[in-house]
Amino acid sequence: MAHVLVVEDDPFVRSALIRQLTDAAHTVRSVGTALEALREVAQIGFDLVILDLGLPDLDGREALKMLRGITDVPVIIATARDDEAEIVRLLNDGADDYLVKPFSAEHLSARMTAVLRRVRASGGRPGAPQDDELRVGGLCVDPLRRRARLDGIELDLTRREFDLLAFLAQRPGVVVPRKELLTRVWRQSYGDDQTIDVHLSWLRRKLGETAAKPRYLHTLRGVGVKLEAPR
C-alpha cells in the first residue's frame, strides 16, 4: 500500500478522502494549504500526492510547479475544473493524472493504482532510491543517498543536476534522446532544448569537462546525450 499526502482545504472532502484511503489500507497525512504541502513533502517521503487546485494560499497549478521544484513524487490533481486546456497545462506542468470532482472511491483507487504501476514499471522516478550505487569509470552515483562522487571527491550538485546524472548513469553508453530526458527527468511532454543544454553545461563544469572536450557526457547533435567512462 502507499504513503499518501492529501492536500485539500475543504474539511468535509478531506475527511472523506482520508476515510476512503485508510479503508484501502493506505497510510495518509493531510494538509489544507500549499505551503503546508511543500513543508510535508520536503520533510517526509510520500509515494503519492493528491492535490486540490482550489487552495486558500496558492493556486493549485503554482503549487504543482513548486512541488516539482523539490520532488518527483507522483501527483494526482483533484479538481472541479473540467476545462480540457487547463487539464493539458497541468499534465504538462508535471501532474501524473487528474480526477474531476465529484469522484468515487473506486475511481480514485483505480487512478492511484495505474499511476503507481507506471512509476514502478519505469524503475521509479528519476533520482529515486535504488539498491546499489551506479559506477561509470571514476564516477559513482548513489541514488539512495542522492550523492555523487568523481574519483572519490563528492560533487556538489543541485537536485535537477543529480536527477539528470542519475538517470544517465542508469543507462551508461546509451544515447538518450532529448525528448526522453524532458519526459523522464523534467516530467514535461515538450519543452525548450536550451533547458537541457544549460543543465548539461553546469554538470560538465562540475565533472571537470567541456562540450568541446568531453570525458563523461557526450552530446550527439540532433540525437541525444550519453554518459560513458573515459577511454
* CATH code linked to domain 134-227: 1.10.10.10
Q: Read off the pLDDT of residues 170-187 as tens digits, 9 standing for 90 and up.
A: 888 888 888 888 877 877
Cis peptide before 102 (omega within 30 of 0): yes
pLDDT band at 155 (very low <50, low <70, confident <90, very high): very high
CA angle 122, 23, 31 (to 5 degrees): 75
Cell numbers at residue 118, please?
A: 507506471
**The domain over range 3-121 is classified in CATH as 1.10.940.10:** no
The H or E element spanning position 226 is strand 224-227
Q: Which residues pair with 194 in a beta bridge?
A: none
Distance CA 175, CA 131 (A): 24
CA 166/CA 160 separation, integer angstroms:
10
Torsion of CA 24, 25, 28, 32, to 10 degrees: 20
Q: What is the dihedral of CA 169, 171, 176, 181, to 10 degrees?
A: -50
What integer is the mean pLDDT of 146-174?
90
pLDDT digits (tens, 9 = 90+) for 73-109: 889 998 887 777 888 888 888 888 888 888 888 888 8
Q: How far apart are CA 64 and CA 73, in angstroms?
A: 11
pLDDT of 126 over the 70 cut: no
State the pLDDT at residue 89.
82
For the record, the C-alpha cell of 77 comes out as 490533481
What was the pLDDT predicted at 149? 94
Binning pLDDT at 50, 70 and 90, where does residue 128 land?
very low
Mean pLDDT estimate for the chain: 85
Domain map of the chain by residue range? 3-121, 134-227
